[in-house]
Amino acid sequence: MTFLTFAIRGLMRRPVRTGLTIVGISIGIAAVVALVGISRGFETSWQNGMKTRGTDVVVSSMGSAITPKPFAAAEAERTRSLPHVAEICPLFVDFISVEKADMMIVSAREWGGFTWKNLKVVSGRLPSDAKEKAVVLGQTAAEVLQKKVGDTLQLETAELSVVGIVDGGAVVENGSVILSLSLFQEITGNEGKINIIDVRVTPGTTKEEMTQLCERITSLIPEARAVLAGENIRDSQAYRIIRAMSWGTSLLAVLVGVLGVMNTMLMTVFERTQEICVLLAVGWKRIRIVRMILWESALLGLLGGVGGVIIGIIGVKLLVTAPAIRGLLEPDLNPQLLARAVLISVVVGVFSGLYPAWRSSRLMPSQALHG
Amino acid sequence: MATSHAGGECVFEAITLKKEYDDGQVQALRGVDFRIDAGEFVALVGPSGSGKSTLLQMLGALDHPSGGSLLYRGAPLAERADLAAYRALEIGFIFQAFHLLPTFTAMENVQIPMFESPRGAAERKERARELLKSVGLEPRLHHFPSKLSGGERQRVAIARSLANGASVLLADEPTGNLDSENAGVILDLLERLHREQNLTLVLVTHDMGIAARATRRIEMRDGRIVSDRPTEPSLANP
């Protein structure tokens, strides 16, 4: 028998209540894992998308919307001849409803730009020129839309041919409908407008030089801002709101967990008043009683944390297969996040046990004689 | 007035010991004086509310006196910084209602006070086994309290009180929840421990038959000691 035995037996006295408390914490921690994992995944997905497109610097105007604000396509030309710029590719990226899918990434790229080069054709082909009324679909997008090469796709008012299925190498790319920029501008009435410029720098360019390039581009194009690839999503006000909401909701869930554990531990202390007094009467120091209660609450937190991580992972895996968001998200459930979630849960457990532990330490051993 | 009956080393000495509750409205002890020497078997008797259990609590440092002083082996108990260590190592407490932890086996219950001693896990286990064997419970080592009879539970509680080698046993109505047969077994056991290990035994009871088995009887009434005398030999050894 070790000291941990006291914590385990204490929790086993009321298995149903202990179980329900663990479920309560698990749900809170699952919310943390799912919401933070998804919001981080959103960032990771965009970063991976940029990486596979071969983009080093992104020029866009991330306002309050989830996609960047449009600006004049002519602005792109100002960047083309800057030092360290190897290639640029103007794009128009939007989230729109496409046939059965409520929300789909439509990625329109300047025909011939470097962002087409990393697309591996799985079946069919790429559009033959900028004017061909055709799209290629990322593998996931094809599954979601249930399209194959040769089918037609209704995009806004235009009927386009699906000429190829591609592997873009990243969730965002594979979940996209990809077409030429000029065709998309024509269909959506956005002639002369783009909302992103992807910039590839010359080999050997240092990070410092890229930062200087970003500053230069930003000064040249007042409507947009140039940032290193991957950082642009963090500039998005919408993304910041999503992130804040995910943490806010997580905080609420954790708060509910704190109250749940505190309630359980207070009940435990009230129910076991006599038992605690007996422990004091047989010579246990008050600090040992405090430790016993804190071990119990920490154990509740640990079990809730592990349960929450498992529920969170399962929940997120189920969520990303939902038709409405399939192909849009690549949840980032990295080991650090999962370990942090368990750690939060243990801290919640210990924190929640502080008041009950303090209460238990105030008991007088003479109470053991009553009853 | 402190009275010595055994003439040995003084274990407890109470000087005008008082205990009040509810801001003095209830006076449980109204200034008692006595002395208990090492190796004595003292019965504290008296009707309900006479203050005998309160006195036992003071001896066990389970509560603080409101006035007067209580010395343990010549030093004021109230001034000890380590009252928990006193309860853990110097005395053993036996309750009327046994107060075993229900989710722990007999072996585990006996080990509980040993967490305050330097013994390791293996040593704790071995000592608990020896103590339970000494009270005749070797076949019941791994039984939970709910699977033990009242007498067996009290024997586990006695083994627990001896876990850290206490030299003083304080027993509050130890046979109060037992039938006469089991009560006899428990008293025999306490007497044997007192005799074999030269333990100082202070036992609260309202049963004069049990009190007669002690070597000394302190009678209390309304928070005062009304008599303090050795038990008549014929009654002490029936």
For residue B48, which residues of chain A lie inside 8 Å, CB to CB? none
Output the pLDDT for position B133: 94
Contact B87 A282 (CB under 8 A): yes
Does A46 or B88 have the greater pLDDT score? B88
DSSP assignment string, A3-43 = HHHHHHHHHHTSHHHHHHHHHHHHHHHHHHHHHHHHHHHHH
Task: Kindly tell me if the per-residue pLDDT of A367 is higher than 90.
Answer: no
Residue finishing a domain among A178, A201, A228: A228
Q: Which residue of B21, B64, B95 is the best one to mutate when testing the A interface, meaning the one whose CB has the most A CBs within 10 A? A: B95
For residue B62, which residues of chain A lie inside 8 Å, CB to CB? 280-281, 364-366, 368-369
Q: Within a domain: residue A234?
A: no
| Residue type at position A173 | E
Q: What average pLDDT score do residues A73-77 get?
A: 89
CA-based nearest distance B105→chain A, Å:
10
- A219-228, B65-74, B102-111, range with the lowest pLDDT: A219-228
Shared domain for A22 and A70, answered yes or no, is no
Q: What average pLDDT score do residues A313-319 get?
A: 89
Instruction: Find the CB nearest A278 among B99, B116, B172.
Output: B99
C-alpha dist (Å) from residue A290 to A276, A354, B169: 10, 8, 27
Shared domain for A123 and A155, answered yes or no, is yes
Per-residue pLDDT tens for A9-39? 989 888 999 999 999 899 989 988 988 888 8
C-alpha dist (Å) from residue B230 to B170, B219, B235, B237: 18, 11, 10, 13
| Residue type at position A330 | E
Mean pLDDT, all residues of chain B: 90
Q: Which residues contact A95 (CB under 8 A, 6 or more apart)?
A: A66, A67, A103, A104, A105, A106
Output the pLDDT for position B238: 43
Contact A364 B63 (CB under 8 A): yes
Output the pLDDT for position A259: 87
- A37-41, A297-301, A355-359, B111-115, range with the lowest pLDDT: A37-41
Shared domain for A247 and A319, answered yes or no, is yes
For residue B115, which residues of chain A lie inside 8 Å, CB to CB? 3, 284, 288
Does A311 or A366 have the greater pLDDT score? A311
Q: Which residue of B21, B56, B62 is the best one to mutate when testing the A interface, meaning the one whose CB has the most A CBs within 10 A? A: B62
Output the pLDDT for position B119: 92
CA-based nearest distance A1→chain B, Å:
7
Contact A284 B125 (CB under 8 A): no
- A144-148, A238-242, B45-49, range with the lowest pLDDT: A238-242
For residue B87, which residues of chain A lie inside 8 Å, CB to CB? 280-283, 365
Contact B95 A368 (CB under 8 A): yes
CA-based nearest distance A363→chain B, Å:
11
**Beta bridge mates, B17:** B32
Q: What average pLDDT score do residues A189-212 get?
A: 91
Q: Can you read off the two tokens belonging to residue A153?
A: 């796709």
Shared domain for A218 and A97, answered yes or no, is yes
Shared domain for A212 and A63, answered yes or no, is yes
Does any CB of chain B come closer than 8 Å to the CB of residue A16?
A: no
The number of domains in chain A is 2
Does any CB of chain B come closer than 8 Å to the CB of residue A4?
A: no
Shared domain for A101 and A123, answered yes or no, is yes
Q: Which CATH superfamily is domain B40-53+80-230 in?
A: P-loop containing nucleotide triphosphate hydrolases (3.40.50.300)
Q: What average pLDDT score do residues A82-95 get?
A: 92
For residue A281, which residues of chain B lie inside 8 Å, CB to CB? 60, 62, 87, 93, 95, 99
Within 10 angstroms of residue A154's Cβ, the number of other Cβ atoms is 10
Task: Kindly tell me if the per-residue pLDDT of B182 is higher than 90.
Answer: no
Task: Kindly tell me if the per-residue pLDDT of B89 is higher than 90.
Answer: yes
Instruction: Find the CB nearest A285 among B63, B84, B99.
Output: B84
Contact A280 B84 (CB under 8 A): yes
Output the pLDDT for position B3: 45
Q: What average pLDDT score do residues B120-131 get?
A: 94
CA-based nearest distance B3→chain A, Å:
27
Q: How far apart are CA B35 and CA B200, in angstroms?
A: 12
pTM of the shown model: 0.77
Q: What average pLDDT score do residues A224-241 get?
A: 73
Q: Within a domain: residue A23?
A: yes
Q: What average pLDDT score do residues A91-112 get?
A: 89
Output the pLDDT for position B236: 45
Answer left, alpha or beta for residue B68, where phi above 0 means left and psi between -120 and 50 means alpha.
Answer: left
Output the pLDDT for position A44: 78
Output the pLDDT for position A62: 67
Q: What average pLDDT score do residues A149-178 get?
A: 91
Q: What average pLDDT score do residues A229-240 get?
A: 68
Per-residue pLDDT tens for A248-306? 888 888 888 888 888 888 888 888 888 899 999 999 999 999 999 999 999 999 999 99
Residue finishing a domain among A228, A257, A279: A228
Output the pLDDT for position B1: 41
Output the pLDDT for position B206: 86
For residue B160, which residues of chain A lie inside 8 Å, CB to CB? 282
Per-residue pLDDT tens for A40-54? 877 777 777 777 778
- Residue pair A285/B113 in contact (Cβ under 8 Å)? The answer is no
Report the percent of chain A where pLDDT is more than 90. Answer: 47
Residue finishing a domain among A228, A247, A265: A228
Half-sphere exposure of A2 (CA within 13 A, CB side): 3
Cα nearest neighbour of B90 on chain A: A283
Q: Within a domain: residue A209?
A: yes
Q: Which residues contact B135 (CB under 8 A, 6 or more apart)?
A: B155, B156, B158, B159, B189
Report the percent of chain A where pLDDT is more than 70. Answer: 93
Shared domain for A347 and A321, answered yes or no, is yes
How many interchain CB pairs under 8 A, A with B? 81
Output the pLDDT for position A64: 60
Cα nearest neighbour of A277 on chain B: B62
Q: Within a domain: residue A331?
A: yes
Cα nearest neighbour of A367 on chain B: B62
Contact B84 A286 (CB under 8 A): yes
SS3 B153: helix
Q: Within a domain: residue A50?
A: no
**Domain enclosing residue A20, as ranges:** 3-44+239-369
Shared domain for A40 and A68, answered yes or no, is no
Contact B53 A283 (CB under 8 A): no
Cα nearest neighbour of A369 on chain B: B95
Contact A282 B60 (CB under 8 A): no
Output the pLDDT for position B2: 40
Q: What is the ipTM of this complex?
A: 0.90
